[in-house]
Amino acid sequence: MLVKICGIRRESDITYVNELKPDFIGFVFALNKTRTITVDEALKLKSLLNKDIKAVGVFRNNDINLIKEIVKLNIIDYIQLHGDEDDEYILEIKKFSNLPIIKAYRDSIYANYRLYDNLDPGKGNGFDWNLIKNNKPFFLAGGINIDNVDDAKKLNPFCIDVSSSVETDGFKDYIKMRDFIRKCKNE
């Protein structure tokens, strides 16, 4: 089972993930979010990241020029669109990037993956998993934690994506991250 730890924003978070080795981490560039980081912060954190761990840039209705800048700087390996972005927006991205695209909420023939998540992401709230349609590989987020991850795995997602459930007081918690990754990977 692949695992993404989203909302990485401190050097200590990078130290944790380099040791624990999730498959993906997420840098949040979405505006006005608790875990949002700047391009300079992401550039520094990416330079410290183990090369085997893929960085996902999380965007939500951002100016497409920001995505272009971040792609050009090689900060991210995947693009996650978590807002109202439509196929036209995705096609604009494809003019300057070949990075895989993850699209939340909306099917797109141009995105490589779909993300199923709660409509108010990053707060640990779940949603009705019966709404999932397996028409392409998907990331699963939204209220997944150590207690329900076994049920989430039964849905056969490409990747389990967590943030708040591996935090304490709003910051990444090494023990919670370790235990969650171990459970996902059956270690």
String of DSSP letters for the chain: -EEEEE---SHHHHHHHHHH--SEEEEE--TT-TTB--HHHHHHHHHHS-TTSEEEEEESS--HHHHHHHHHTT--SEEEE-SS--HHHHHHHHTT--S-EEEESS--SS-SEEEE--SSTTS-----GGG---SS-EEE-SS--TTTHHHHHTT--SEEEESGGGEETTEE-HHHHHHHHHHHTT-
The answer to whether 107 is a known catalytic residue is: no
State the catalytic residue, choosing from 117, 159, 161, 184: 117
The answer to whether 159 is a known catalytic residue is: no
pLDDT tens across 71-97, in order? 999 999 999 999 999 999 999 999 999
State the catalytic residue, choosing from 6, 13, 23, 184: 6
Domain ranges (residues) in the chain: 2-184
The pLDDT of residue 129 is: 74
The pLDDT of residue 80 is: 97
pLDDT tens across 166-187, in order? 999 999 999 999 999 999 988 7
pLDDT tens across 62-71, in order? 999 999 999 9
The answer regarding whether domain 2-184 maps to CATH 3.20.20.70 reads: yes
Report the percentage of the chain scoring pLDDT > 70: 94
pLDDT tens across 97-132, in order? 999 999 997 778 899 999 988 755 555 556 667 777
160 pLDDT band (50/70/90 cuts)?
very high
The pLDDT of residue 119 is: 59
Backbone angles phi, psi at 22, to 5 degrees: -65, 170
* Structure tokens given for 166: 């591996």
